[in-house]
Amino acid sequence: MQEAGIIFIVGNSRSGTTMMRRVLGNHPAIFMLEELHFFEQLWSTADKEKVLTVPEAANLASRLMFIQRDGYLAEMNTGKHYEEAMNMVSSMESSLYPHEILRAFLHHETKKAGCSIPCEKTPQDVFYIKEILELFPEARIINMVRDPRGVMLSQKRKWQRRSMGAGFMTRKEQRRLRINYHPITISKLWNASQRAALPYTEHERVHTVIFEELVNDADKQVRDLCAFLGIAFQDSMLAIPQVGSSNEADKPDSFGIKTERAGNWEKGGLNKGEVWFCQRICRAYMLSYGYSVKPVNPGVFYPVWYYISFPFKIMLALLFNLHRMKNIGEAIRRRLR
């Protein structure tokens, strides 16, 4: 198969997409970019046919450069890289559609790093697979799937990452992550990501990787992935640092893919109500991926508490995430469709 021109990593598991990011980042031809959040936050469907002016295009490119080099959580300063962004835009031969700015930026950064294949990882882009395939015909998409109970445990503990090696996480981000978590919310979003990806499971440019299969048989899974991407397998791809988990402190001096990360939710961390809601909501898709449903009795307290608290947590989460969506109506519709 011909070598991929651009790689997008999407999926229902942030830890799964992060692990894949580190695996591919160890390949000499691939340059791993930071999470750009282009779709949904910098682009909406209304921008598909919109041609930007040169200043508008330079401003968008400058925002992408800032996110990549200074951090997604840093206070945006579009002027910091504006001159370089203007030079990049001025050298473009294609029309200044927003997605063309993204394409030019991806290759601009990749070339600066001495690599040939840009790779971008934003899990929420699973809701934009159709647009990615249409706007980037040279792209390949990797869709990461993880047991929803493992996703739930990771999301429940994610706010604690600040004390486990992610010192860059602000307290504001900690609060947002704690507010975002609710077992019903996480379960419904997991289902939504499956519905979004389902029409493309057999698409020749989409490759689904099951997180548990990756950690249990990394060599085979990564070799298959390399064949899909049209690149040569490298042993170094499996030597990823053991950092970024929401369930344990970072170990930057330890390398390799830990098999213990598969099924870690069974070792504790979720109460019976959380497991019950997750399995009840996600059962159909879980079974389709081969995940077993465990018998659990949640009692009376947990179902009542989570049902009562759900609308309040949804409203708070919406308020704390409004600034992260360019078109709030479209973002919600994509998750509910």
The answer to whether 310 touches 181, Cβ cutoff 8 Å, is: no
Determine the pLDDT at residue 253. 55
pLDDT tens per residue across all 337 residues of the chain: 688 899 999 998 888 999 999 999 999 999 999 999 999 999 999 999 999 999 999 999 999 999 999 988 778 899 999 999 999 999 999 999 999 999 999 999 999 999 999 999 999 999 999 999 999 999 999 999 999 999 999 889 876 755 544 455 567 777 777 888 999 999 999 999 999 999 999 999 999 999 999 999 999 999 999 999 999 999 999 988 865 444 444 455 555 676 666 778 998 899 999 999 999 999 999 999 999 999 999 999 999 999 999 999 999 988 877 777 778 788 888 887 6
CA angle, corner 143, sides to 204 and 328, nearest 5?
Answer: 115
The answer to pTM > 0.85 is yes
**Interatomic CA distance for residues 327 and 194, integer angstroms:** 22
Q: Find tokens 């047991």 and name the residue.
A: 147
Could you please state the CATH topology (level 3) that the domain comprising 6-29+116-336 is classified under: Rossmann fold (3.40.50)
Q: Which amino acid is at 304?
A: V
Indicate the DSSP class of residue 28: T
Determine the pLDDT at residue 81. 97
Coil, helix or strand for 242?
strand
Determine the pLDDT at residue 324. 74
The residues spanned by each domain of the chain are: 6-29+116-336, 34-113
